[in-house]
């Protein structure tokens, strides 16, 4: 995989990778002070879709066979269940270890919900908002903005892949002998670990917080990032990982603001679908084996 990821990169693609990684982090930090930086950060995240389209093939192995839609869906449900279980463990650990961070995060969720409602109401005429259609669009605006942010969060997996490629290129230049010896898995794990730490740090760049809260945020989100990175390397499918990330964030948003236990309900549904797909896949494999045995006889 490391050979594919470090295939020759054009100057324009390298510049795009640097903008998506380092440039996005600088803009994220500047959102503390500038609404324009926030807009530019969103623009970079949207543009990362097209960069991901250039990079996603590098994850594929030449030996990989083409998966059927059922197998892809089975892989998605499995990846989502793995992340849900892993994130549950991370959240339990965080609750027990970083009390200050969890209190601050709960307060953030409450404040954000209230601010969103006030912002929507404040931007419209009261007479309009009192009408049924005005109330409808208030809800659409609030939910739509949250879902938009969650989709952009899914595209952070393009950021991760871009960073991993950038780090592997650096490792290849700095440690040429070890690279040529074929012992490259260590570099891949190091890139995954570094991007996970950066993922955690990035969740503290746009706000100023005490270190007791910041450390909790870094550790919690770094572990979440590590789970997404493992899913990326396991599935070798960038877009599947993007969807897992976005869908989890969407269900978490619904759970926080709109529907209690939305994550748990959705995960239960995913589990049922996963079991059904697994049974169907086993039946298909058994039939294929029987046909092959019949032909050989």
pLDDT in tens, 118-139: 554 555 455 544 555 555 566 6
Predicted local confidence at residue 213, as pLDDT: 84
| pLDDT for res 131 | 53
Q: Which residue has the higher pLDDT, 144 or 76?
A: 76
**Could you tell me what percent of the chain has a pLDDT over 90?**
56
Residue 112 has pLDDT above 70, yes or no: no
pLDDT of 52: 94
**pLDDT higher than threshold 90 for residue 144:** no
In the prediction, which pLDDT does 98 show?
A: 87
Q: What is the predicted pLDDT for the residue at 294?
A: 76
Return the C-alpha torsion angle 216, 222, 223, 228, nearest 10. 150
Give the pLDDT of residue 226.
Answer: 97
Q: How do the domains of the chain map onto residue ranges?
A: 2-296
Q: Is the pTM of this model over 0.95?
A: no
Q: Which of 11, 5, 132 is closest to 61 using CA atoms?
A: 5
Determine the average pLDDT of the residues in 97-105.
81
217-271 residue pLDDT tens: 999 999 999 999 999 999 999 999 999 999 999 999 888 777 889 999 999 999 9
pLDDT of 51 above 90: yes
What number is the average pLDDT over the span 59-87?
86
Cβ–Cβ < 8 Å for 221, 99: no
Q: What is the pLDDT of residue 109?
A: 62
Q: What does the pLDDT look like over 150-208, one tens digit per residue? A: 999 999 999 999 999 999 999 999 988 888 887 788 899 999 999 999 999 999 998 88
| 274 has pLDDT over 60 | yes
pLDDT band at 23 (very low <50, low <70, confident <90, very high): very high
What is the average pLDDT score of the chain? 86
């Amino acid at each position: 995989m490391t050979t594919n990821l470090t295939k020759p990169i054009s100057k324009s693609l390298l510049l795009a990778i640097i903008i998506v990684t380092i440039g996005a982090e600088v803009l994220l930090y500047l959102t503390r002070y500038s609404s324009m930086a926030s807009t530019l950060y969103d623009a970079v995240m949207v543009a990362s879709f097209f960069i991901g389209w250039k990079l996603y093939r590098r994850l594929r192995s030449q030996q990989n066979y083409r998966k059927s839609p059922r197998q892809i869906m089975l892989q998605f449900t499995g990846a989502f269940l793995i992340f849900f279980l892993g994130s549950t463990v991370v959240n339990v650990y965080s609750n027990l270890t970083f009390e200050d961070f969890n209190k601050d995060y709960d307060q953030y969720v409450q404040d954000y919900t209230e601010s969103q409602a006030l912002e929507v109401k404040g931007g419209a005429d009261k007479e309009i908002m009192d009408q049924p259609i005005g109330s409808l669009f208030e809800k659409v605006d609030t939910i739509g903005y949250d879902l938009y942010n969650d989709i952009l969060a899914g595209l952070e997996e393009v950021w991760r892949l871009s960073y991993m490629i950038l780090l592997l290129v650096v490792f290849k230049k700095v440690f040429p002998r070890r690279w040529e010896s074929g012992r490259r898995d260590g570099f891949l794990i190091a890139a995954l670990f570094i991007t996970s730490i950066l993922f955690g740090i990035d969740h503290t760049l746009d706000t100023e917080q005490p270190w007791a809260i910041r450390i909790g945020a870094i550790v919690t989100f770094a572990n979440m990032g590590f789970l997404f990175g493992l899913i990326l390397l396991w599935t070798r499918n960038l877009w599947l990982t993007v969807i897992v990330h976005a869908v989890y964030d969407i269900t978490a948003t619904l759970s926080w603001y709109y529907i209690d236990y939305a994550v748990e309900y959705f995960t239960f549904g995913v589990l049922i679908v996963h079991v059904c797909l697994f049974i169907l896949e086993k039946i298909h494999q058994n039939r294929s084996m029987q046909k092959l045995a019949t032909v050989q006889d």
